[in-house]
Structure 1
Amino acid sequence: MKRNPFSSKAYIRTWLTHFNSNGPAISFPFLKGASFFKYPFFPLYINIGRNLTKGISYSLFNENITKEAENKVLLIYDVPEHWNNPENNTINEKIAIERIPQYPGFLIDLKPYKDLDSYMVQTFKRSSRYKLNKYKKKIESCFNINYRMFYGEINQEEYEIIFDEFETLLKKRFQQKGITNNNLDPAEWNFYKEVTYPMILEKDAALFVTYSENQIIGVTLNYVTNNALIDAITVFDIDYSKFNLGSVNIMKLIEWCLENQFDKLDFSKGYFDYKKRWSNMEYRFEYHLIYNKNAILPKTIAFAIKNYFIAKQFLRDKKLNDRIHRFKFLVNKSYTKQNMDTGFSFEDQIELSTDYQLKEVFLPIENNHSLKMALFEYVYLNNESINDLRTYKVTNLEDTYIFQTGSKTTKVQLQR
């Protein structure tokens, strides 16, 4: 059976503290790999972690299963179909296992590949490989980019800084998209922040962080199960969107996996185009119901739960959940919307006008989003390094700046 990070002591303890403070972890001798909490009022037992895990695996044994589960229903969320084969479990014939298909899952099986290049050759056409490698070269030539995987050790203070910036980038991203994100619900986020630190130390989780100079511009929360790295939550600074940081991030994760003898990079549950494009294996997450099929109450409860989840998946397939997230965002929004579309224009200068009164501007320029976007566009178009760029404000003209790189001088006019 798989070593599962969501069955670790740190995960179980922290989840119970945040979501089930009145009850203990419950285990059953006939089921190994998952612990449960009791749902109020009904003989229903749900796996600890509920829908916040990225995959649960378990095994069933015949020992006392009829007595232990006689009037109970066990609900296990998010069982990857390739992790479990309940038909092979040794169980009493009175016990039913209902498998309810839910989210699609995607992963890269890396076993056939010795390095990133061999994977790229087998997965993408030459033109696509050229573009993807160009993205990586572009961002690394324009900015002082470095990458770091925190796995097995991390300083508590550094961890706090990363997780705070992680939250900031997520909020910024979903404000731009105009939808809510469940991960940012305070209850969920506080749980993630508390549980991830001990899981990193135990090598059950890892944080992959991308820096531009010393500024965090990308974070991926990963979980580790046996020889697989599970990409759980990923976010990038949207100001760098032109540089295709998402594709670069995936290449770096593949590279890290192969260098550290991980043979799977799992994008986990939910459909996105990029998952389809990069993966070479698709699978399905299932919800499992285990109950005594000869007992009326468990059978009735299981029937109701099964049909509820079937209906929910039908609505999810119809994209209704996306509309709900957008509606909730509009109803609950409590932020001041930033103008992300502020424009600018460039004008090459043969020589600087003597009428310009110049004051040099030094990085970072986080408090001037319009200038930051103009600067990023400039280094992107001209394939310049930010290290070679000098920026001046024309103090006697409104919203006017000068970019200088080597022998080239460009006037920048911000348009508000």
Structure 2
Amino acid sequence: MPRILNILSNHIDFHELVLLEKKTDKLYRSIRNSFTGNFAYQKALPLKTLSNNGQRPMVLTSVPSYINTELDLGSDIVIKKVKTFPGSLIKLSAYESYEEYLKKNFAQKGRSHFIKSQNLLDECFTVRYKIYYGSIEEEEYQIIFNAFEQMQAKRFEERGMRYHTDPMLSEYRAKTLGLVRSKEACISVIYNGDRPIAISLNYILGKIVHGFTKTFDSAYSKFSLGNIELLNVIKWCFDEGFEVFDFMKGEYSYKSRFADTSYPFLIETIYSKKEALSRVWGHSVFFGLKLFYFVYHATKSIRSINTQKSTDSSKNNIKVQKTLLDSTTVGIDEKRVHFNEIQSQYIQRAICDYCYRRREQMDSLKFYKKRDQIKMISQKEVLIFQVNGPMDTKENRQ
């Protein structure tokens, strides 16, 4: 679709223009949050009005419908809007506090589960929480983005899919450092020791926080790591006085649990109403888009039924053997390794699951590698983990 739009029109993505490139003034006079009436952006001085006369129609994609915009393209234009994908958000300004938000949206059992999950995570690992906003060191910034890509690749591999680097990730990496330092973005990170295990990139427009993308280390899935990271960001938004947390596109179960408001994204076709060629071209693009999204929404339920659910295959890919704890536990051919040096995500997940079930501190465990096996020694028992098939380690690939 983006390629077709680039051919047929002057295609501009709202989020890229406004949030990443920060070129809002090239297109808009003002942007307003319709929930509060407050301006997210407003030109300080009127600039020279741009004209769209004689040009291909302009198509703006990914425009949130709850944002009221005033274009700086003059008065001789036509704007046609089509609803595209669903979005969701939290109206932070509707609550007096983070605690009120939780109380109104989650039952006592759900709130207790959040607290239990975070307490257990803190108990089992050396956890620290950090939101970078206003300052970040270059070295730490690069570590975070490297970890982000590694976690994405691991999750693709677990699903049996080939991972291709998201082309947008390189753009995020290039531009986000400056945006964090200027308080136009924030990066939320949960660390286990010095290793990032959950990351989210969030971009800011006025008092609106857009949750662009996130990932976490699936080895820690038992601990509801995604929920813990998200709640940490939501609490931070309340503390900083933001009005909206926007989950943006995508229909995921966690969004339906945490969001309190849904809205449609819009695609806007803009063309001159003076020139005949511009009108015909603009009408054609508009009706083509309208037809496309009519078919999309009509067939959405069918596609949803046929979509295969991803399954967790880690239990089928690993064998666990329990042995007695005695003086001959460690052999001379076994090499001591750190948890982070274990390359198999299946073994890492099995170890984290063990910590979850036994409420065991990771620092109390010792790990030894022998060929394709990892031996884990706790204070009470010894477990040997082995992947069904050759174990993917740096050492074995050399």
TM (normalized to structure 2)?
0.75
| 255-264 or 365-374, which deviates more | 365-374
**What's the CA shift for 1:391?**
3.9
Give the structure 2 partner of residue 143 of structure 1: 125
| Residues 343 and 309 (structure 1), Cα distance of their counterparts in 2 relative to 1, 3 Å cut | same
The answer to whether the 8 Å contact 1:346/1:412 transfers is yes
| 2:101 partner letter | Y
Deviations along 1:339-362, whole A, 9 cap, x unmatched? 78422336485xx34564445734
Give the structure 2 partner of residue 333 of structure 1: none
Give the structure 2 partner of residue 364 of structure 1: 339
CA distance in 2, matches of 1:109, 1:26: 26
Give the structure 2 partner of residue 385 of structure 1: 361
Give the structure 1 partner of residue 134 of structure 2: 152
Structure 1 alignment gaps of length 5 or more:
14-24, 35-55, 327-337
Alignment match of 1:32 (pick from 29, 32, 40): 29
CA distance in 2, matches of 1:139, 1:343: 24
TM (normalized to structure 1)?
0.72
Give the structure 2 partner of residue 44 of structure 1: none
| Residues 296 and 129 (structure 1), Cα distance of their counterparts in 2 relative to 1, 3 Å cut | same
Give the structure 1 partner of residue 259 of structure 2: 279
**What's the CA shift for 1:238?**
1.7
Alignment match of 2:198 (pick from 218, 234, 241): 218
| Residues 320 and 156 (structure 1), Cα distance of their counterparts in 2 relative to 1, 3 Å cut | farther
SS of the residue 1:199 aligns to: helix
CA distance in 2, matches of 1:321, 1:365: 42
Deviations along 1:220-241, whole A, 9 cap, x unmatched? 1110111122110101112222
SS of the residue 2:269 aligns to: strand
The answer to whether the 8 Å contact 1:7/1:33 transfers is no
Alignment match of 2:116 (pick from 130, 134, 146): 134
The answer to whether the 8 Å contact 1:366/1:372 transfers is no
Give the structure 2 partner of residue 71 of structure 1: 54
SS of the residue 1:111 aligns to: helix
**What's the CA shift for 1:400?**
6.8
CA distance in 1, matches of 2:365, 2:83: 54
CA distance in 2, matches of 1:172, 1:311: 38
SS of the residue 2:68 aligns to: coil
**What's the CA shift for 1:148?**
1.0
CA distance in 2, matches of 1:121, 1:12: 36
Structure 2 alignment gaps of length 5 or more:
1-13, 32-39, 308-312, 389-398
CA distance in 1, matches of 2:285, 2:42: 20
Q: Does 1:342 align with 2:317?
A: yes
CA distance in 1, matches of 2:372, 2:136: 46
SS of the residue 1:266 aligns to: strand
Give the structure 1 partner of residue 381 of structure 2: 409
Deviations along 1:229-262, whole A, 9 cap, x unmatched? 2110101112222221111111101111112122
- Identity, in percent, stands at 23
**What's the CA shift for 1:179?**
5.5
Q: Does 1:11 align with 2:8?
A: no
**What's the CA shift for 1:63?**
11
RMSD: 4.0
| Residues 134 and 69 (structure 1), Cα distance of their counterparts in 2 relative to 1, 3 Å cut | same
Give the structure 2 partner of residue 308 of structure 1: 288
CA distance in 1, matches of 2:162, 2:302: 11
SS of the residue 1:100 aligns to: strand
Give the structure 2 partner of residue 101 of structure 1: 83
The answer to whether the 8 Å contact 2:51/2:74 transfers is no
Number of paired residues?
355
The answer to whether the 8 Å contact 1:360/1:390 transfers is no
| Residues 64 and 289 (structure 1), Cα distance of their counterparts in 2 relative to 1, 3 Å cut | farther
SS of the residue 1:122 aligns to: helix
Describe how 1:162-201 pairs up with structure 2 within 5 A.
162-178=144-160, 184-186=165-167, 188-201=168-181
